[in-house]
Amino acid sequence: MSRRLLLILAACIAVLHFSIIIFMLSPLYSTRSSLYGTRYVSRFGYKHPSVDWCKELKLRIPPSQNVVALVSYPGSGNTWLRYLLQQATGIMTGSVYMDYGLKLHGFPAENVTDGSVLVVKTHETPTTNRKYDSAILLIRNPRDALLADFNRLHKGHIGTAPKSAFKRKSNEHRSSWSKYVSVELTGWESMHRMWLTTFKGPLHIVFYETLVRDTRMTLQRTLDFLNHTVDEEDMSCALAYKEGIYRRKKKYKDFDPYTPNMYVAIQTVWHNVLNMVIDYQRTVQNVTY
């Protein structure tokens, strides 16, 4: 290869590298007055979803002394509730994880776990090595939570797994659908049991189905638990933009991957956890934190 071609190749690589850096640093979230609108077009011609924010997102300064966990099993709507909280308050929410897709598309405080964020996303059980002063437990019917997370594992936060994925047999990389359901149902019940029976701080319970059905009331009660007041303009804006970009649309209307035996198992663990919620609520009625 000639020296001229080598120089041209090196220049192209440098330009590409620089373009990627610029792209990664470009804001993909904006306020309603932003010139970006609801879509952001990258320098490579691809369209990436962005968010219309009611107000510019910021960290808490000074940080709160109260670190609040936003707990859920994967697939239960954690990202959507974070989005609603950010819309209503303008305060960033954090996470124990570093999801670069979320960081670039509306959640700039990924991997921030202190009081500078409103809540800290986690799917983990309560442990002694990570201190939360209080927690919000978001619970979704395991039938829908497991299916949503199975879709995420195959197609990301807003995609839907192909029907073939539900028929695939186990291999060294992925388990079959039936094995996945069996294992995850056990984990779903165990995670909720741990938070409902061992966490020592105040615990606010949110049902995903109630959040969908009555978003205003559920969001307001969550904000009350966080001791954060928003005015009617902020609440109305959050509700006007409540859909966001991270609520998966149903792709298959007449497709149910669950077998009758799976439904029996789902109903069993679902009722077990509902009974734990009832027991917890009875217990805290007589407890003052």
Distance CA 67, CA 83 (A): 18
Q: Calculate the alpha carbon distances from 257 to 77, 164, 176, 188 in Å.
A: 20, 11, 12, 18
Residue 119: what pLDDT? 98
Q: Answer yes or no: is 270 within a domain.
A: yes
Q: Is residue 180 over pLDDT 90?
A: no
Residue 187: what pLDDT? 94
Q: Please count the other Cβ atoms lying within 10 Å of the Cβ belonging to residue 237.
A: 20
Task: Domain count for the chain, please give it.
Answer: 1
Buried b (16+ CB within 10 A) or exposed e, 93-121: bbbeeeeeebbbbbbbbbebbebbbbbbb
Full domain range(s) for residue 229: 61-247+255-284
Residue 164: what pLDDT? 57
Query: Which is it for the CA torsion 25, 29, 32, 36, positive or negative?
Result: positive
User: Could you report the per-residue pLDDT of 120-167, keeping only the tens digit for each?
Assistant: 999 999 976 778 999 999 999 999 999 888 776 654 445 555 555 666
Of the pLDDT bands very low, low, confident and very high (cuts 50, 70, 90), residue 229 is: very high
Task: Output the domain CATH number for residue 237.
Answer: 3.40.50.300
Q: Answer yes or no: is 37 within a domain.
A: no
Task: Record the pTM.
Answer: 0.77
- Helix axis angle for 142-155 and 260-284, nearest 10°, is 110
Q: Answer yes or no: is 261 within a domain.
A: yes
Q: Answer yes or no: is 109 within a domain.
A: yes
Q: Answer yes or no: is 147 within a domain.
A: yes
Q: Answer yes or no: is 279 within a domain.
A: yes
User: Could you report the per-residue pLDDT of 187-220, keeping only the tens digit for each?
Assistant: 999 999 999 999 999 999 999 999 999 999 999 9
> Would you state the structure tokens that stand for residue 256, as one six-digit string?
């149910």
Q: Answer yes or no: is 50 within a domain.
A: no
Q: Is residue 39 over pLDDT 70?
A: no
Q: Answer yes or no: is 35 within a domain.
A: no
